[in-house]
Chain A
C-alpha cells in the first residue's frame, strides 16, 4: 500500500475524468488520476463531435493548441431506406465564427492533449494502471482504490468514478447496477483515410470547415439505432450503433450493419478509394433519465458515461461528461473548503448542481423517448423511413400522374402501413416524448 494520501482519486482519463481532475487540480487539491489505457485516449472511441462551450469552461483558450479537426458549418439529417435518403441540411456562414461552436476531433489525440492540461494543472496522472476494486471502510465508506500494480492500494478522501459506460467498478462495489442491454447501444466505428482535397471536394467544404451527417432508417434493420458520418481533416469517421438488446433479439451483427451503411448508395461515394485504418466498437449509454443510477455516496461520486449521462437524441455525450465531471469537482472543492467530510449528505451538492444544469434538464425532457423508440423501433426505423422515401419519390417524379392522385396514393400507403390510429398514436407519442 502507498503511504501517501490524496485528496481525490479520479478513475479514468476520458472526457469526464479529465474535466474532474483538471478542475480539482486547478483548485489546488492533491489529485491522483488513474487510467488503464497506455495513455489517455488510447482506448477511447467516439465519433467524434466536441462541443466547445463545455470545454471553454475548463480550458478557456483551448483553440490555441488543442488537436481539433474541423469546425462544423453544416449538419445533415438523413432518413434512409435501402436506396435513398431524405435529407434536411442546415448550413450557415454564421458557423464560420471566431469561436466556433462544434468541432470534429479524434479522441485519441484530443484526450492526450486534454490529459497534458491535467498534468500541467498539477494532478498526478498514472496510465497503464487499472483500478480493480474500491476500498471501503467498516462503515461502507469508499476510502480508496486498489490497482493492478504491485503494492497498488492508494487512499483518498473521495473517489470520482469516471470509468465510462461499463462502470464495472461501481457495479462491483454495489454502488449501482450493471447497465441493462436495453439501456446501452453498441456502436461500431471506422476511420477512413482520404486526401484532404478529396474530403473537401466531396463534402463541399474548404479550409477547416466540417460537415456532420446523422442518419436513421432502414440502415439499422428495424432496430433502435443511428448512423453517422463525420468529416475530419484527412479522414472520415463513420459508424452505426443500435441497442444491445436489439442486437440480441435480431441476431444482426454490428459489423454487417456497418458494411451495409458503408455500401449504401448515398454513403459509398463519400468513402470511395479510402483506406480503412481503425475499426472500433464501444458502448453508449442510451437509457436516458430513467436509467441514471445513484450519483453519489459516502466517499464517491460518479460522472459521465458511468452515470449514464448521455443524450442519445442529440448524440451528445462528451459535453455531459465534461460538465458532470466539472460540477462534481466543484462540489468536492466546496465540501473540502468547508473542511467537511466527503459523506453522502455533503456530496449531495453535486446532484443539486447537476439538476440545475442542462445535463439533467435535457435528459428529463426526453425521459420517455428511449422507451418509445425501443417499443416502436420497427415503425420508427423501418416503416416510416420507407414511407417517407416512397412519398418523396412519388412527389418529385414527373410521370403524368395527376398530383391529386399521387397524394392519394401516398396517403393510402401510410394508412395501409400504420392505420389511422397508428399514425395519430405515433405522432402523439413522439410529440409527447419530445416535449
Chain B
C-alpha cells in the first residue's frame, strides 16, 4: 500500500517576536519545525505501513529549506520524500496550495505506486486553517475523513477502511473506501524516534525536488499568489491593553480573602452568579 503524508515546515510560533516599534515580524533566527500536528499523521501512516506493508512518501510544498523537514521525516522512518518547490508556488492560500499538492499526489501516484491514502495533519500552527486537507481531498476526488482519532481497520482487497472520527459531541465510527484522505487528530500517538539505521538512511537519501512543471501542474495561474482568491490586505499587531493588572494588596488581610474581596468589588454581580454555580455542585 502506498501512503502519502503531507507535512509543512512552519516557523516555531513560540519563538516569533513582533518588533515593538515597527510592528513587523522579526524573523531573525526563528527556527522552523515540522508542523506539530503533521507528526501525528506521519506516525499513523508509518504504523499503518508497518502493519499491512507498503511505503510512506512524505510530501511538502515550500521553499528549498523545507528539505530539512523532509529529511527529518525520513529520519523518523518515512521511505521517500518529495519537495515541491517553485517560485510560482509562493504566496499560495489554501485553494492554491491544495491545487499544487493534489497535482503532486497524482504525479507521485503515477511515478511510484498508486496512492491509497493521503494523510494530512489536522491543521498547521501558522496557517491554522484546517482547510488544506479537505481542499486536497476534493481536488483528488478522494473520500474525506477528517479529525480521525483511530484507524480501526483497512481492507486492501475490498478497498475499504474503517475509522473513528471525532465530531463535536462524540465519536463517529465510519466505514469508507479507498482512496481516501485522512486528517489526523492530535494526541493520538507519539512520533517514533527512528533507529540508527533510519537516521543513517535519511542522512544519505536524496529528496526528490519537483518544480511546478515537474509535478505536472497544468495551469500555473492556479498556483501561488495568482491562484489565490484571498488576499491579505493588512497585517497588524493586536492593540495591547493599556492598563496592566491591578495588584491585590492584602493589607493585613489573609491574601485569599483580599483577592476574593477585590474580585467582587470589580464585578459585583458575579457573586450571585457564583453562588448559583457553587450550589449546583
Q: How far is the CB of B49 from chain A (nearest CB, A)?
A: 17
Choose among A42, A125, A128 the residue that contacts B31 (Cβ–Cβ < 8 A).
Answer: A42
Classify chain B: how many residues form its interface, as a range: 20 to 34
A149–B203 touching, CB < 8 Å = no
Number of residues in A with C-beta < 8 Å to the partner?
29
Interface centre among A129, A153, A233 (most CB of B within 10 A): A129
Do A126 and B26 contact each other (CB < 8 Å), given the known contacts A42-B31, A149-B194, A273-B20?
no
* Closest Cβ–Cβ distance, residue A134 to chain B (whole Å): 16
Once bound together, how far apart are the Cα atoms of A152 and B196, in whole Å?
A: 5
Residues of A near B199 (CB, < 8 A) are 126, 129, 149
Q: Does A405 contact B (CB under 8 A)?
A: no
Cβ-defined contact, A109 with B29, below 8 A: yes
- The answer for the CA separation of A293 and B200 in the assembled complex, in Å, is 32
**Residue of B with least CB distance to A195:** B21
The CA-CA distance from A277 to B197 in the complex, in Å, is 37
Give bound CA distance, A277 to B27, whole Å: 12
* A150 with B195, Cβ < 8 A, contacts A108-B29, A109-B29, A126-B203 known: yes
Q: Contacts A193-B26, A235-B28 hold; do A149 and B196 have CB atoms under 8 A apart?
A: yes
CA distance A150 to B197 in the complex (A): 8
Most B Cβ at <10 Å: residue of A108, A125, A150, A195:
A150
In the complex, the chain B residue whose C-beta lies closest to that of A1 is B196
Residues 231-290 of A contacting B (Cβ, < 8 Å): 233-235, 273, 275, 277
Interface: B19 (CB within 8 A): yes
B75 an interface residue at 8 Å Cβ cutoff? yes
The answer to whether B196 touches A275, judged by C-beta atoms less than 8 angstroms apart, is: no
In whole angstroms, how far apart are the Cα atoms of A126 and B194 in the complex?
12
Those of B70-91 within 8 Å (CB) of chain A: 75
A106 at the interface (CB under 8 A from B): yes
B17 interface neighbour in A38, A233, A277, Cβ under 8 Å: A277
Q: CB of A4 within 8 A of chain B?
A: yes
A151 touches B195 (CB 8 A): yes
* Chain A contact surface mostly: loop
B residues 1-60 in Cβ contact with A at 8 Å: 17, 19-22, 26, 28-29, 31
Interface residues as binary, B191-231 with A (CB distance below 8 Å gives 1, 0 otherwise)? 00111110110011000000000000000000000000000
User: Which residues does chain A contribute within 8 Å of B17, judged by CB atoms?
Assistant: 193, 275, 277
Known: A108-B29, A234-B28. A126 touches B195 (CB 8 A): no
Q: Assess whether B196 is in contact with A147, with CB atoms less than 8 Å apart.
A: yes
Report A114 CB to chain B, min CB distance, Å. Answer: 15
Closest to A106 in B: B29
Query: Judging by beta carbons under 8 Å apart, are A150 and B31 in contact?
Result: no
* Interface contact B196-A234, CB-CB below 8 Å: no
Contacts of A124 in B (CB 8 A): 200, 203-204
Q: How far is the CA of A126 from the CA of B196 in the complex (A)?
A: 9
- Taking CB as reference atom, which chain B residue is nearest A108? B29
Select from chain B the residue with minimum beta-carbon distance to A125.
B203
Q: Considering only CB atoms, which chain B residue lies closest to A148 in the complex? A: B193
Q: Does A154 contact B (CB under 8 A)?
A: yes
Interface presence of A2 (CB below 8 A): yes
Complex interface bits, A150-178 against B, C-beta within 8 A gives 1, otherwise 0 = 11111000000000000000000000000
11 A/B residue pairs, CB under 8 Å, sorted by A: A108-B31, A126-B200, A149-B196, A149-B199, A150-B193, A151-B196, A151-B197, A195-B21, A195-B22, A233-B28, A234-B26
18 additional A-B residue pairs with CB within 8 Å, beyond A129-B196, A233-B28? A2-B196, A4-B200, A108-B29, A124-B204, A125-B203, A126-B199, A128-B75, A129-B199, A151-B195, A151-B197, A152-B195, A193-B19, A195-B19, A195-B22, A234-B26, A234-B28, A277-B17, A277-B29
- List residues of B whose CB falls within 8 A of some A CB: 17, 19-22, 26, 28-29, 31, 68, 75, 193-197, 199-200, 203-204
